[in-house]
Amino acid sequence: MGIKGLAKLLSDEAPDCIREEELKSLHGRKIAIDASMAIYQFLIAVRSGGPNHAATMLTNADGETTSHIQGMFNRTIRFLTEGIKPAYVFDGKPPQIKSGELQKRREKREKAQAELKKASEEGNVEEQDKHSKRLVRAGHKENEDCKELLRLMGVPVILAPCEAEAQAAALCVEGQVYATGTEDMDALTFKTPVLVRKMTFANASKATVQTMKYAKALEGLGLNHDQFVDLCILLGCDYCDSIKGVGPKTALKLIREHGNIETILEKGLNTSGKKKYEVPANWTPNKKKEDATDDEDNDDSEDNTPIPAYVEARKFFNHHEVLKGNEVELKWKAPQSEELKKFLVDTHCFNPERVQASIEKLEKAHKQNGKPQSRMDSFFTVKVNPVSAAKRKKKIETEKASKKKKTTGGRKKK
Amino acid sequence: MFEARLTNGVTMKQIIESIKDLVKDCNLDCSEEEISIQSMDSAHVSLVAVRLGAGAFDHYRCDRPNALGINTANMSKIFKMLNNDDTVTFKAEDEGDALTLLFEGQKNDTIADFELKLMDIDYEQLGIPDTPYKCSIKMPSREFERIVRDLQVLGDTCTISCGKEGVRFSVTGNIGTGNILTRANASAEKEKDQVIIDMEEPVELNFALRYLNFFTKATSLSDHVMISMSPEVPVVIEYPIQDYGYVKYYLAPKIEEE
């Protein structure tokens, strides 16, 4: 999922773009949340079980899983109570280009299935647990359940034509929402200005989230957008294979040095002399095969893609199929309490008292959001405080920055 | 090197008390002319701006601008040990990681010194435009404190409307409604009882009482409070500190959505 090692690379190379913030600080913001990611999280995390038998998912009387409903319900209420307006974006059809990745996932799942069988025969609870989590799959039914739930709660649901995180990022770029909420790092590759992660609130008292800013990430890495996309492809994305032997550090170095993948393939790898890199077969179309990278490539490669896979992936990142802002309805409506109760209690066997309490919270939150508290930063714009900014970066730069402060003047801004 | 000696040390104690419920960590920005603080609360709804000019100190030296990151709760703990007539001296090295505080008593010869660890605070400062307001109200700070405290019983949102007859504070809650009208009386005998309203056009805005209540923690700093409002922008609630500084609170209004 996402971009391999990007989070780590950013925290090393561009620490300025990452911030831990209190959930509160997002109040009043609209956030487009990747629903599929959330559903997966719930299916894995919301479980019941004792120490002696493997944890199982919550189910209703018919044995249908309800973990995701429970999780989605509670988290959404939490958002609304904090004054945050969530909009959930669901995945559309999987893109053609992702089929390789999906195939891999399928294989992993089959493996886990076999392991689970073995573990339950042996009675190894820990292993059983591990593998049953790997088997989790958010299918059509889970998605439909959540859509129904959100509709009853009055929260907007957006059906992306393709990938959810791309759709969320597009809304964010257009300014329809403030941020994209997903764990998936490729939201940044899709250019979302702000990415919000770690919205799990496992610890109820201290709710913090992690925000990442696209502009600051690029600044910190010293790359432009095209270079950043190429970097993500080198790190490893869902849409094509990456070069074996190129890790995060090397990838960044290569991009900084050569600017794009084409030049890297031409110069960067061959001049290294060690030939330890293995370029995926479908990265080099036939006509190029002989001259550019003949040593890395197997001649018996049956893949005859006319366009190299990384170019496809790049195109995919930059021209993704999304709905425009005016094709999406972002309206937070009053919850339909009676139907909601029916849905949760009658269909999915939730505890009526708890549901009642939650619905009251939901109604209260909706009422409050009808007269929303505005945010300070919507009136006053952020200006860089040269002193503290410089202090944080390098102490040597302090002097220069303070001079700058004097010339740019005090706190008055016309 | 930063060094400042404040004879009236209790002023600093009151400043810290007036912001500590709102702001957890903040920078004391020291420059040649002043010590200032700017910070938003964690929900980014309100902003506090403090200024204490060099003139407030009987000795003030700041070689180069410095941002001293403090935790207000810890600072407050230290100031708990200050007697009301003590003198406070602040000292910090340019590249240091601690702020030294020196408390000197007037009557006896006790000297207490404390070292408060500093931290790096990543705060995005906001630029506040210096615009004229449509309404400004000057009223006794105790009176404002009482109104805010009383109205909290009824609800959580307060409508402040400034019109010809005076300033009206109204609350509507589950148990009922309440209105408090304060009329202008510029001719009151004692200066500190005066209510002066300077109005260009009527303004009505809604605010969260919870925040207004935090602001009244600054009441002891000043006899008067100045409330300035314009339509659809944050209110400013200013507590002047004699002639050499202020504590200003900005609060974003609640907005009626159609």
Are B121 and A377 inside 8 Å of each other by CB?
no
Helices of type H across A82-205: 99-122, 125-134, 140-153, 164-173, 186-189
**Which uninterrupted H or E stretch holds B159?**
strand B157-162
Count Cα neighbours of B191 within 13 Å in the Cβ-side half-sphere.
3
Q: What are phi and psi of B207, to 5 degrees?
A: -135, 155
What is d(CA A179, CA A214) in angstroms, rounded to the nearest whole number?
11
User: Which of A382, A399, A412 is opposite residue B64, by nearest beta carbon?
Assistant: A399
Looking up tokens 């109820």 gives A204
> Which residues touch A104 (CB under 8 Å, ≥6 apart)?
none
List, in sequence order, every beta strand (DSSP E) within A185-298: 194-197, 208-213
B230 touches chain A (CB under 8 A): no
- Is residue B256 within 8 A of residue A371, CB to CB? The reply is yes
User: In the structure, what pLDDT confidence band is assigned to residue A274 with cuts at 50, 70 and 90?
Assistant: low
For residue A385, the chain B residues in CB contact (below 8 A) are 27, 29, 67, 123-125
Pairing relationship of beta strands B177-182 and B196-199 according to DSSP bridges? unpaired
Q: Are A22 and B233 within 8 A, CB to CB?
A: no
Mean pLDDT computed over B19-46: 91
Q: Listing from the earlier edge strand, what are the strands of the sheet with B46-53?
A: B66-71, B25-30, B34-40, B46-53, B245-251, B235-241, B224-229, B135-140, B196-199
CATH number of A225-318: 1.10.150.20
Q: Which of A380, A395, A405 sits opposite B65 (nearest CB)?
A: A405
Beta bridge partners of B37: B50
Q: Is the dihedral of CA B235, A383, B99, A16 positive or negative?
A: positive
Size of interface A-B (CB pairs under 8 A): 110
pTM recorded for the entire structure: 0.78
Res A385 pLDDT > 70: no
Residue B68 confidence class, pLDDT cut points 50, 70, 90: very high
- Tell me, what's the pLDDT at A55? 62
Q: How far apart are CA A304 and CA A297, in angstroms?
A: 13
Torsion region of A221: left, alpha or beta (phi above 0 gives left; psi -120 to 50 gives alpha):
alpha
pLDDT of residue A289: 42
- Structural domain spans, chain B: 2-117, 135-251
**Alpha-carbon distance A205 to nearest alpha carbon in chain B (angstroms):** 15
Query: Which long-range contacts link B106-114 to residues 24+ away (Cβ below 8 Å)?
Result: B112/B81, B114/B78, B114/B81
CA distance A364 to chain B (A): 12
CA A289/CA B50 separation, integer angstroms:
67
Q: Do B64 and A398 touch (CB under 8 A)?
A: yes
Using 50, 70 and 90 to split pLDDT, how confident is the model at A392?
low
> Mean per-residue pLDDT for B32-54?
92
Given CB atoms, is B124 within the 8 Å cutoff of chain A?
A: yes
- Residue A125 distance to chain B (closest CA, Å): 43
Yes or no, beta carbons of B128 and A380 under 8 Å apart: yes
CB B27 within 8 A of CB A388: yes
Residue A395 has pLDDT above 70, yes or no: no
The predicted model gives B107-122 an average pLDDT of 86
Shortest distance between the Cα of A222 and any Cα of chain B, in A, equals 21
Mutate to test the interface with B, among A29, A194, A380, A394 (most CBs of B within 10 A): A380
pLDDT tens digits, one per residue of A168-202: 888 888 888 888 988 888 888 888 888 888 877 65
B234·A370 Cβ contact <8 A: no
Q: Does the beta-carbon distance from A373 to B121 stay under 8 Å?
A: no
Interchain pair B127, A24: CB under 8 A: no
Residue B233, chain A, CB below 8 Å: the answer is yes
Q: What part of B 166-205 touches A (C-beta under 8 Å)?
A: none
Q: How far apart are CA B189 and CA B185, in angstroms?
A: 10
Arithmetic mean of pLDDT, B71-76: 94
- Separation of alpha carbons A135 and A88, rounded Å: 24
Residue A205: pLDDT band (50, 70, 90) is: low
Query: Among residues A252, A321, A309, A302, which one has the least CA distance to residue A284?
Result: A309
User: Residues B156-181: what's their mean pLDDT?
Assistant: 91
Residue B126: closest C-alpha in chain A: A382
- Chain B residue numbers with beta carbons less than 8 Å from the beta carbon of A382 are 124-127
Instruction: Identify which of B170, B168, B171 has the alpha carbon closest to the alpha carbon of residue B155.
Output: B171
Determine phi and psi for B251, rounding to 5 degrees. -130, 125
pLDDT over 90 at A82, yes or no: no
Contact B126 A376 (CB under 8 A): yes
Percent of chain A whose predicted confidence (pLDDT) is above 70: 76
pLDDT score at A270: 55
Residue A48's Cβ-side half-sphere holds a number of Cα atoms within 13 Å equal to: 9
Domain boundaries, chain A: 6-222+320-369, 225-318
Phi, psi of A252 (to 5 degrees): -65, -40
* Residue B50 contacts A where some CB pair is shorter than 8 Å: no
What architecture does CATH give domain B135-251?
Answer: Box (3.70)
Which residue of chain A comes nearest to B130, CA vs CA?
A: A412
Q: The tokens of B164 are what?
A: 């010809």
Place of tokens 């992702």: A98
- SS3 (DSSP) at A382: strand
pLDDT, greater one: B255 or A58: B255
Average pLDDT over residues B108-136: 87
* Cα–Cα distance, A184 to A180 (Å, whole number): 10
Cβ–Cβ of A382/B125 closer than 8 Å? yes
Identify the burial level of A103 via C-beta atoms within 10 angstroms of its C-beta, where 0-12 means exposed, 13-18 middle and 19 or more buried.
Answer: exposed
Query: Which has the minimum average pLDDT: A125-129, A131-135, A402-406, B221-225?
Result: A402-406
The rounded distance, in Å, linking the Cα atoms of B147 and B159 is 12
Q: What fold, for B2-117?
A: DNA Polymerase III; Chain A, domain 2 (3.10.150)
Say which amino acid occupies A7: A
pLDDT (tens digit per residue) in A352-370: 888 888 888 888 888 887 7
> Nearest CA to CA, how far is A406 from chain B (Å)?
10
Tokens of B85: 């007539």
In angstroms, rounded to a whole number, what is the distance separating the alpha carbons of residues A24 and A207?
A: 8
Predicted pLDDT at A49 = 60
Give the whole-angstrom CA distance, residue A323 versus residue A316. Answer: 15
SS3 content of chain A, % helix, strand, coil (to 5): 55, 10, 35
Average pLDDT over residues A40-64: 69
- B188 contacts B198 by C-beta, under 8 angstroms: no
CA distance A163 to A408: 44
pLDDT of residue A202: 59
**Amino acid symbol at A339:** E
Interval B2-15 mean pLDDT: 92
Nearest by CB to B126, from A25, A373, A380: name it. Answer: A380
Nearest to B122 among A22, A382, A392 (CB): A392
A380·B38 Cβ contact <8 A? no
- Angstrom distance (rounded) from CA A47 to CA A56: 6
- Which CATH code fits A6-222+320-369? 3.40.50.1010
Residue of A nearest to B47 (CA): A376
Residues 6+ apart with CB under 8 A from A97: A239, A240, A312, A313, A316
Helix A140-153 with A35-45: angle, nearest 10 deg: 110
Residues of B in contact with A383 (CB under 8 A): 125-127
Question: Which of B29, B95, B254 has the CB atom closest to A371's CB atom?
Answer: B254
A83, pLDDT greater than 60: yes
Q: Model confidence at A299, in pLDDT bands (50, 70, 90)?
A: very low
Q: Are the beta carbons of B157 and A380 separated by less than 8 Å?
A: no
Angle subtended by helix axes A99-122 and A125-134, to nearest 10:
160
Q: What is the mean pLDDT of chain A?
A: 76
- B254: closest chain A residue by CA: A373
Top pLDDT among A132 and B208 is at B208
Cβ contacts of B13 within 8 Å, gap of 6 or more:
B79, B82
ipTM surpassing 0.85 = no
Of B228, B211, B241, the residue nearest B51 (C-alpha): B241
